[in-house]
Amino acid sequence: MRLTTKAMTSMLMACAGAAIAQPTIDGLYDAATEGEFYSDILWTQNVPTGFGDNSAGLFEGGEFGNPEVVDTGVELCIPLASLGLTGNETIRIAGWVNSGDRTFKSNQIIGALPIDTNNLGGPQDFNAAPLDGTTQHIEVDLSVVPSSGATVDGELGADLWSQEFLQGNFTGFGDETDGTVDGSGPNGGGSEIDGIYISKDATNLYIFIAGNLENNGNSMDLYIDTGAGGDNQLGSGSGDGGFIVDGQSGLVFDAGFDADYVVSVDTWNDDEDDGTTPNVPRAFFGPIGSDIDDLGSLAGFGAANAGALSAGVSMGIDNSNIEGVIGSQSESTPVSPDANWAYGSELNNVRSYIDTDNNRLYVFIAGNIQNNYNKFVMFFDVQAGGQNVLLDNNVDISFNGLNGMSNITFDSGFEPDYWINVNNGVDGGTGELQNFTDAAVLRTNGANIDPIFGVITDYGSFFGGEVSATEIMDFSGPRVDIQDGALASLFANYAPRLLEVDPFSPTAGLLQVSIDNSNVAGVTGDAASAAAANAVNSGVEICIDLDELGWDGSQDILMGGWIANDGFSFLSNQVLGGLPDGSANIGERDADSDGTNDLDFNTIAGDQYINLSAEPKVGCPADLNDDGVLDFFDISFFLSNMVDFNEDTVFDFFDISAFLGAYGAGCP
């Protein structure tokens, strides 16, 4: 018997190295190592993707948009006499989009910044590296520009202009996509200088800056060299607009450029006491060496609000441009397939694993998320209550994108209690690829409010950053806001539900997310093959603590979700649970093309959610000491106790064979 035991021990020990304990959160499903604990496929995509197909070999390079087509923006009329001009001189103009306090300069510069240059920030010497081989101003011969004048309305229109500059760099200050004259739509705003156009008449100089000026206080600062005197280096300013010069004090212009005048446009709240008046355009103008005056403000944006300010200056701003330069670097992107990069967004299949022994839910969603900050939003129904209709009083997270989806109605029987948003893209300022995950609790009546102090106690949680540092987004801190009775919103880098219970003792790792964008198969933009969709084994992988999720321990865990645009306002046809065959993007179904506030999933055939509990958890019968790991101690327990593993009341070879089979299958 001793020889038999020794031989049996050797066989058992040889299997120990193959045992596995938990799935690896890496955005990949490996059937050989993870097939024993993940369920079979629970759902398969049935419609082609309306959000781009990530095909093998795709790449981008050198394309930065179409600035030449932009015909709206900031238009200025300045008396020639105010500039000391007659209209026949040669002048030079430098300028840029700047932050509201004028201390952080964008990469939207008039001149020839090298392509894919990031935001410049504070003052620099335009004659020094890396800008020493470029020219950061334009030269305009006023004697040859059109002399018919222009209508100051923020539009190029039919007026005659001389095009003096076209932008050759992406914008690091946001890409406007709304198409509204004030740029205040749900997709946010942006600032860009796409082109400079000049005209004149007998009295005035007209400057048209094609592009956008975000109504958040960002500015467009123009410096004009009229040819006599002036400053090659900015010093200090004076007057109401002195801060414009002060913010870039020390900046050195190109050799031969000596600024004489500055004209600056921004937006401000002209009734800051009660905060009821939205930001409106205003302008400053004056000589560099003297007072820079506040010329006043317009009533708003668009041609209807354009008009005269003081000192003979007129202005009009129209932010409706959605063309022009792009909002990310244009350098060559990776050739697909690439684990960190995708040129389209799709959802192909879903698997799950409910690990009650370790109190974890694992979900694998095969597909891609395009690197343009498209959003993959997921909703989980795990307990009684929840929000069958999304409320507008949830926590502020994803720049309030969660509340921006309010009034979406889910299928009857689906009342989510938890929300996750996964996205990736290129940072416009640094040019670095980033991954982000946001999370929030969805309570039946909205975010928790302290009943005594009337302040919010729920958290909007987020985690992410440069891909190289966030291959796994594990919500490990360090940020956690502590409510002091005055904070209108609470933010944290820890998972939100359990953090609200005790924010002074945060637990890391309760939510873990990873993205692998290497799929180039699955559904295409034209076809949806079930076999192809089921074959995709890369995508988004999630592990979440069941207490953090809020699971009541008995209800089936249900999951819904979809891919949307970067502002959450336009929903694709990539919806968990599926849409009717041949469905277009949900955003294209509605008269207002938003696919959000008036969306009722009950009007769409089928269930737009998945039951993650449909497949039972794979057990681990060989883990005889119940420690969640297969190792020598399980073997020792089996041998020492001669376990009747096949439960036939006899310990024999068949028990050994059954135990070896279970041990070799691994432990989830």
202-261 pLDDT tens trace: 999 999 999 999 988 999 999 999 987 899 999 999 999 999 999 999 999 999 999 999
The DSSP call for residue 252 is B
Looking at residue 626, its pLDDT comes to: 61
Looking at residue 426, its pLDDT comes to: 85
Looking at residue 641, its pLDDT comes to: 82
Q: Give the angle 332-337-340 at the CA atoms, nearest 5°.
A: 70
3-state helix, strand, coil in the chain (%, to 5): 15, 30, 60
pLDDT in tens, 557-602: 999 999 999 989 899 999 999 999 999 999 865 555 555 668 999 9
Q: Which residue's entry shows tokens 């200050």?
A: 173
CA gap 539, 54 in Å, rounded: 12
Q: Which residue's entry shows tokens 């180039």?
A: 520
Of 437, 438, 442, 436, nearest to 392 (Cα)? Answer: 442
CA gap 239, 302 in Å, rounded: 29
Q: Which residues does residue 605 pair with via DSSP β-bridges, in sequence order?
A: none
Cis upstream peptide for 79 (omega within 30°): no
Mean pLDDT of the chain: 89
pLDDT in tens, 165-193: 999 899 999 998 888 898 876 666 899 99
CA gap 22, 35 in Å, rounded: 11
Q: How confident is the model at residue 16 (pLDDT cuts 50, 70, 90)?
A: very low
- Residue 10 phi/psi, 5-degree rounding, is -60, -40
- Residue 341 phi/psi, 5-degree rounding, is -140, 135
Residue extents of the structural domains in the chain: 2-19+630-663, 31-56+336-611, 72-325
Which of 60 and 533 is assigned the larger pLDDT?
533
For residue 620, CA distances in Å to 102, 385, 644, 662 come to: 63, 33, 16, 7
Q: Give the angle 204-168-566 at the CA atoms, nearest 5°.
A: 105
Strands (E), 298-432: 307-308, 314-317, 324-325, 346-355, 360-368, 375-381, 418-426
Looking at residue 11, its pLDDT comes to: 38
* DSSP string computed for 571-640: EEEEETT--STT---GGGTSTTS--STT-BGGGSSS-SSEETTSSPPP--TT-TT-SS--SHHHHHHHHH
Q: What is the mean pLDDT of residues 529-538?
A: 96
CA gap 486, 236 in Å, rounded: 38
CA gap 66, 63 in Å, rounded: 9
Q: How confident is the model at residue 18 (pLDDT cuts 50, 70, 90)?
A: very low
Helices (H), 432-523: 496-501
* DSSP string computed for 12-29: HHHHHTT---S---SSB-
Of 248, 250, 237, 247, nearest to 287 (Cα)? Answer: 237
pLDDT in tens, 467-499: 876 679 999 999 999 999 999 999 999 999 999
Q: What is the mean pLDDT of residues 595-621?
A: 80
CA gap 172, 2 in Å, rounded: 74
- Residue 498 phi/psi, 5-degree rounding, is -70, -25
Name, in order, each residue with C-beta under 8 angstroms of 603's C-beta and a sequence gap of 6 or more: none
pLDDT in tens, 27-39: 999 998 898 899 9
Of 614, 523, 531, nearest to 575 (Cα)? Answer: 523
- Residue 434 phi/psi, 5-degree rounding, is -130, 145
Of 14, 115, 114, 13, nearest to 65 (Cα)? Answer: 115
- CB-based contact 262:245 (threshold 8 Å): yes
Angle between helices 653-665 and 632-641 (to 10 degrees): 160
pLDDT in tens, 403-454: 999 999 999 999 999 999 999 998 876 778 899 999 999 999 999 999 988 9
Three-class SS of residue 140? strand
Name, in order, each residue with C-beta under 8 angstroms of 445's C-beta and a sequence gap of 6 or more: 391
Looking at residue 431, its pLDDT comes to: 72
pLDDT in tens, 62-97: 678 899 999 999 999 999 999 999 999 999 999 999
- CB-based contact 543:360 (threshold 8 Å): yes
Looking at residue 467, its pLDDT comes to: 86
Q: Which residue's entry shows tokens 């093309």?
A: 593
Task: Using CB atoms within 10 Å of the CB of residue 40, give its burial: 0 to 12 exposed, 13 to 18 middle, 19+ buried.
Answer: exposed
